[in-house]
Amino acid sequence: MERDRLDSIQMFRCFAALAVFFFHLDDVLPFGPQSFLGHFIYHGNSGVDMFFVISGFIAFYTVNRDENKHSYYTHPGMIYLLKRIAKIIPLYYTFTLLCAGHSLESFYQTLKSFLFIPLGLGQGGPLYGEARVSQGWTLNYEMYFYLVVAASFIFGKLKWYFVYSFIILMILFPIILHGIPNNYGFNGFLFSIAYLSMISNPIVLEFLLGITVGIIYSKSNDKINLIWMIFIISSFSFFILNLYEKFNNYSRFTVSGIPSALLIISFLKLEKSRQINIHNILVKLGNMSFSIYIAHLGIIVLIRKIISRTINQGHHGFSLWLGLGIFALSSILTYYVSSLTYNYLELKLSIKFRKWLLSRKIFNDHQIEVNQGVQ
């Protein structure tokens, strides 16, 4: 019987969150961008691409796993969406409110962030003005993907064909109408409506990569043959080498998305064939990865401001020991805050919120009818 818990996915969620954490400390840590370690830190933003691939995989995996449960609901697509909303909103809204500000403009931006609409601000992609919580720009993409998956339930067994088709068409339409702009692979289009720019950005293809990983995983057995071993070794080598020297610098999809997908499917196969055991610390940090991702940047910025105005007053940049001190303090506080938000917001509050949402009669009429029929 296949295990429901996939530790390798939690491990990669951990790696992705830590990569982004280190990326936001790149000018504090004593490693130049040309040094070996500095090069990896500088490319830590690829953790976002890994998150997107993981999201695509989890969507496919959970939807297929819960296929039989969906028949109990009159609106299975809505149930899927509500579960995702219940997971995200308590934590994200809390930190968004902490960043809300006092002006009318900040109120408007906070409202857009609540609705997962990019702020725009005339900025290019893939951030498109970010969100009130800076790194919340990625959740705008996540919510768009969840909306597409939720809508796909209308098409039954053809749902994944719809997801592929819709996302690809949203990317192709602007290209057909306007051609390919400069640096398209990284920045995409810049329309007056930021949301249109976002859904046409090629970075959304990374969600489809994750779905593809899910399809491959679902069709594979728990045995590893020579072809799989060659594939796994090649994928791991390609990922490591590509971090240090990009092989295809055309787009984030090719630079970070494809290598992440290859590595993830390799470790999923190793786990499925019981060739590896993931350490519990990595699994724990993977469980906390959403909290780490949302909380870390505000903590880093706060610590830097305090030190800049006190210990480092009047100086540009940070010394070796001061930089290491900022790193250590940021790590400790991020872990502590993330532990609290994970346990109280992601687990307790999110679960209560989800139960409340799913208990609404409009979403479970059919389940009630089935239960009454059995009685």
Q: What is the pLDDT of residues 322-351, one digit of tens each?
A: 888 999 999 999 999 999 999 999 999 999
Q: What is the pLDDT of residues 215-264, one digit of tens each?
A: 999 999 999 999 999 999 999 999 988 877 766 677 899 999 999 999 99
Instruction: Tell me the C-alpha to C-alpha distance, in Å, between residue 249 and each of 101, 185, 204, 239, 258.
Output: 38, 9, 17, 14, 12
Q: What is the DSSP string of 188-228?
A: ----SSHHHHHHTSGGGHHHHHHHHHHHHHHH--S---HHH
Is residue 46 within 8 A of residue 18, CB to CB? The reply is: no
d(CA 30, CA 285): 25
> How is the chain split into domains, by residue range?
7-374
Residues 6+ apart with CB under 8 A from 14: 282, 283, 285, 286, 289
What's the pTM value of the predicted model, to 2 decimals? 0.92
Mean pLDDT, to the nearest integer, of 252-280?
Answer: 95
Is residue 72 within 8 A of residue 358, CB to CB? The reply is: no
Instruction: Tell me the C-alpha to C-alpha distance, in Å, between residue 106 and each of 37, 86, 111, 220, 305.
Output: 38, 25, 9, 49, 21
Instruction: Tell me the C-alpha to C-alpha distance, in Å, between residue 265 and each of 53, 116, 232, 257.
Output: 10, 30, 8, 12
pLDDT > 80? residue 369: no
Closest Cα partner for 210 from 28, 48, 2? 48
Cα 187 from chain centroid (whole Å): 18
Predicted pLDDT of residue 229: 96
d(CA 72, CA 367): 5
Residues 6+ apart with CB under 8 A from 187: 124, 125, 126, 181
